Amino acid sequence: MRVLLVEDDEMIGHSLKQALAGSGWSVDWVKDGLLAQSALADGGYSCVLLDLGLPKRDGIEVLRQARSQGDRTPVLVLTARDGVDARVAGLDIGADDYLVKPYELQELLARMRAVIRRRDGSAHSVVGTAALQLDLTTREVLVQGERSQLSAREFALLHALLERPGAILSRDQLENRIYGWGEEVSSNAVDVLIHGMRRKLGPDAIRNVRGLGWRVAAPSTGEPAQPARPSSATVSGPPR
């Protein structure tokens, strides 16, 4: 899954990006508030790790603008501001959680999973349908109760589809959820991932809708899904 890291400290940002990548995340790292706003406008992130003391625009203002524009991306504030007033201000404006530096990586990862679960409307670590479920903690897929391990990119792709079972996601939308800036993406990368996943999950687990994209079956049978609306915004950050 893709995460936006907003951190101006080079040492902290570099070490955190490496740690997150080692845990299977695709990380886009920006170092000031204006670049953070541009990246958020592009969308595609499972969550945002937001420092508050940023150059060009404070993290509080970045968060305020995102929420005022209806952006529901989970935001976990990471900051050295440990006063109660600072925490209350961030949470009131729309932060989903708040972690004071220094922190342990395992706690950070657990909080990231928690804010994503809440965004998905689940209090549990397992999301999906009765037939196809994803365990956010173990990164395993459950098909009729049988568990299989997924790679980081397989996990990101399936999580994107299971956020809205029945909705069709295009190739561009799936690539946007899986790959970060600077990552080379071949023209058939999504096809290769889905081919491999069908061997694990069954040929009908992920269905192709010709000319539109892919979907997983909705919990209730029946009505055809509509394509998910693509984002019209663009980002000024580095290209993938």
DSSP H helical ranges for 94-211: 105-119, 152-163, 171-178, 189-201
CATH of the domain at 33: 3.40.50.2300
d(CA 48, CA 4): 5
Q: Which residues span the domain enclosing 157?
A: 126-215
SS3 240: coil
At 36-70, the pLDDT tens digits run: 999 998 888 889 999 988 999 999 999 999 999 99
Q: Is the pTM of this model over 0.75?
A: no
Sort 182 into a burial class: Cβ within 10 Å, 0-12 / 13-18 / 19+. exposed
Q: 208 and 134, same structural domain?
A: yes
Residues 45 and 131 placed together within one structural domain of the fold: no
Confidence of residue 89 (pLDDT cuts 50, 70, 90): confident
- Residue where one domain finishes, among candidates 119, 140, 157: 119
219-235 confidence digits (pLDDT tens): 754 434 434 444 333 33
Instruction: Write the CATH number for 193.
Output: 1.10.10.10
Q: Do 162 and 82 share a structural domain?
A: no
